[in-house]
C-alpha cells in the first residue's frame, strides 16, 4: 500500500485540470489522492463535527494523517500531557475509519531523552492508541541506535524528511512496517518544487520499501508545488507494477 498526498488539500490552479470540476476542495482532491495530512490540529482543535464532515466527503479507502498538537510536542515536550493526549485522541475519533497515522513532529531543540520519550510512547500505546504512528524528530540525537530501538519497540516509524537535519534523517527508521516520507521542499522549505530527477529517485526508494504501508506527503504547499509534485510521483509509480 503506497499512499501519496499533500499537507492539506489545496488544488492549485496550475494543475486544476487534473482534478474534477465539481465538488468541494476536499472532494476534488480525494478524487485523485487517497491520503492527506491534517496540520491544523497542531495549532488548534477542530470545531465539533468538522472531522466527521471531512470523513464523509472522502471515499472509503481515503485516510487522514493527523498532526499532534504543539501543546504536547513543543510546549509540554511529551511530559505530563496524558490528559491533553486523551482529549485529542477522543476528538480525532470523529474521523472513524478514515483516521490514518498519528504524526508526532518534534521541535529541532528537542534532544532525545530515553526516559521522557519512553514514558510518552508507553502511555500512548498501552492505553490510548493502537493505530499507525510516525515521528519526525529534528534533533541529531534522535538518529542513533538507542532512539531507533525505542521507536521500533513502540511500533513507531521515524519519518524520512527532506531537507534532512542529518544524513540519517533522509531515510525511514524505527518501526519498519510503516514508511513515512515528508517532503518539505528544498532548498527553500515549503516553497521549492522538486525536480524530476529527485522524484524519480524517490519513486525508486518508495518501490524498494519493505514496509506494509508507505506514505509520501508533500509539504511544499506555499507555492502550490505540493500537488504538482504529488501528481508527478503518482504518475511515476504507475509506470510499473
Query: Which pLDDT belongs to residue 199?
Result: 97
Average pLDDT, the chain: 95
For the chain, domain boundaries = 2-238
CA 33 – CA 6 distance, rounded (Å) = 9
CA 6 – CA 217 distance, rounded (Å) = 5
Residue 149, pLDDT > 70, answer yes
- Give 13's DSSP letter: G
CA 106 – CA 165 distance, rounded (Å) = 12
Architecture per CATH, 2-238: Alpha-Beta Barrel (3.20)
CA 21 – CA 93 distance, rounded (Å) = 31
Task: Please count the CA atoms within 13 angstroms of the CA of 17 that sit on its side-chain side.
Answer: 1
pLDDT digits (tens, 9 = 90+) for 112-126: 999 999 999 999 998
| Residues near 203 by beta carbon (within 8 Å), at least 6 away in sequence | 233, 236, 237
> Please, which pLDDT band fits residue 127 given cuts at 50, 70 and 90?
confident
Query: Which pLDDT belongs to residue 128?
Result: 79
pLDDT digits (tens, 9 = 90+) for 155-197: 999 999 999 999 999 999 999 999 999 999 999 999 999 999 9
Residue 225, pLDDT > 80, answer yes
> Please, which pLDDT band fits residue 231 given cuts at 50, 70 and 90?
very high
Residue 85, pLDDT > 60, answer yes
Strands 173-174 and 157-158, by their bridges, are antiparallel
For the ranges 50-59, 122-131, 183-192, 227-236, the lowest mean pLDDT is seen at 122-131
More confident residue, 239 or 94: 94
Give the angle subtended at the CA of 43 by the CAs of 169 and 165, to the nearest 5°: 15
pLDDT digits (tens, 9 = 90+) for 23-48: 999 999 999 999 999 999 999 999 98
Percent of the chain whose predicted confidence (pLDDT) is above 90 = 95
Amino acid at each position: 500500500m503506497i499512499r501519496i498526498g499533500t499537507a492539506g488539500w489545496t488544488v492549485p490552479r496550475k494543475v486544476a485540470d487534473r482534478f474534477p470540476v465539481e465538488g468541494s476542495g476536499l472532494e476534488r482532491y480525494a478524487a485523485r489522492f487517497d491520503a492527506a495530512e491534517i496540520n491544523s490540529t497542531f495549532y488548534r482543535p477542530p470545531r465539533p463535527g468538522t472531522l466527521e464532515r471531512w470523513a464523509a466527503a472522502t471515499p472509503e479507502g481515503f485516510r487522514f494523517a493527523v498532526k499532534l498538537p504543539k501543546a504536547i510536542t513543543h510546549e509540554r515536550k511529551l511530559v505530563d500531557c496524558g490528559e491533553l493526549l486523551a482529549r485529542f485522541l477522543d476528538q480525532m475519533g470523529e474521523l472513524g475509519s478514515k483516521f490514518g497515522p498519528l504524526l508526532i513532529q518534534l521541535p529541532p531543540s528537542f534532544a532525545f531523552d530515553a526516559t521522557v520519550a519512553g514514558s510518552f510512547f508507553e502511555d500512548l500505546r498501552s492505553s490510548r492508541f493502537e493505530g499507525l504512528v510516525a515521528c519526525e524528530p529534528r534533533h541529531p540525537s534522535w538518529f542513533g541506535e538507542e532512539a531507533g530501538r525505542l521507536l521500533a519497540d513502540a511500533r513507531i516509524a521515524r519519518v524520512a524528511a527532506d531537507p534532512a537535519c542529518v544524513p540519517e534523517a533522509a531515510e525511514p527508521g524505527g518501526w519498519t512496517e510503516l514508511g513515512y516520507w515528508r517532503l518539505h521542499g528544498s532548498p527553500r522549505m515549503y516553497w521549492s518544487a522538486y525536480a524530476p530527477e529527485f522524484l524519480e529517485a524517490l519513486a525508486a526508494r518508495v518501490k524498494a520499501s519493505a514496509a506494509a504501508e508507505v506514505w509520501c506527503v508533500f509539504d511544499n504547499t506555499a507555492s502550490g508545488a505540493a500537488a504538482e509534485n504529488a501528481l508527478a510521483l503518482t504518475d511515476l509509480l504507475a509506470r510499473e507494477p
